[in-house]
Structure 1
């Protein structure tokens, strides 16, 4: 994924997280979802058309569509007030594919940080599936996970990559931070559930 595109994935996750927490209305967030969704659809089309058959470029670009169609779907759903159950089942499909992209990053590109990032995204899409398709009352939890992931999986890696710093950071440090966030997501779930039960 291009670093510019990844930066805006961070922005839309941040807005969507705040929307789930009730701080931003759905229509307002929906407009920005359309902006980023359009970017994440036309960018991979351009990359694939100009790839000259380079399978690695095509493979990398194909992952962008997962984000692009998610954000377009969310944007249109929010602006038209239609039921979001379709997004839920689409999110399940994307969550499964994200595990595949994690495997590709690990075995093919040998990129451990982005292996973990793809697993985090798979986790987030799974939460969307549970909330929208299965009706689980976890919107507050998803909101906080989306906000934290907006920074740790997108905004910070993209910004550091654009400045050239990401490549200089020890991989072990990145992995420890990312695993720490995974563990925090588990703890956060139980904190919020306990708070809800009180």
Structure 2
């Protein structure tokens, strides 16, 4: 994946996570989704033109398209108000591809990015549950998971790559997996607390009517 593109994956995951937990309005988040989504489509196109059919380069470009189309789709939904089922089922496709790309990264010896791709697979599966299957109760869990992994899986690795100091080994991969697991548990706990806190408010009108 392009190092510059990876940097902006971090910021857009952070912004979209804030949108899902209600901190940022959808139309406000849409603008950055269009910017980053457009970049994640233009960059891989340029990369493919110059790739000389190199399989590794083509694979990296394919990953960028998965993200680019997601963010453009999010931007369009927020601006038009169209329902998100299509994006949800597309997210299932992205999640499956991320699992496969993670396996490929392991076979290529990059265990850290193998784990990162699997963490992204979990996030996009949450997008599928939320949008494709209409599990609206998972909105805050999904949002917090996106926030917690945004810089862990994208911004920080991007800076190491840009500085030429990126390393990948089993110990770092295990550390990344542990942090990803902690982020998932934290997101689920926060999401559950938010649902419990919202439950009395949801039932209040019924009590008043009674």
If the length of structure 2 is used for normalisation, what is the TM-score?
Answer: 0.87
Q: Deviations over 1:1-44 (max 9, x none)?
A: 11110000001001000011111110110111010011001111
Runs of at least 4 residues off by over 4 Å: none
Q: Deviations over 1:135-184 (max 9, x none)?
A: 111111111100111111000110121122323x7651353143233144
**For residues 164 and 59 of structure 1, do their structure 2 counterparts lie closer, same or farther at Cα, with a shift above 3 Å needed?**
same
Gaps of 5+ in 1: none
Bigger Rg, which one: 2
**For residues 49 and 135 of structure 1, do their structure 2 counterparts lie closer, same or farther at Cα, with a shift above 3 Å needed?**
same
Residue equivalent to 1:117: 116
Residue equivalent to 2:64: 64
Residue equivalent to 1:22: 22
Gaps of 5+ in 2: 198-210
Residue equivalent to 2:150: 150
2:166 corresponds to 1:193: no
**For residues 68 and 197 of structure 1, do their structure 2 counterparts lie closer, same or farther at Cα, with a shift above 3 Å needed?**
same
Residue equivalent to 2:100: 100
CA distance in structure 2 between the partners assigned to 1:94 and 1:157 by the alignment: 21
Residue equivalent to 1:40: 40
- For these two proteins, the number of residue pairs brought into alignment is 196
If the length of structure 1 is used for normalisation, what is the TM-score?
Answer: 0.93
CA distance in structure 2 between the partners assigned to 1:25 and 1:195 by the alignment: 19
The alignment yields a C-alpha RMSD, in angstroms, of 1.6
CA distance in structure 2 between the partners assigned to 1:28 and 1:90 by the alignment: 23
Residue equivalent to 1:180: 179
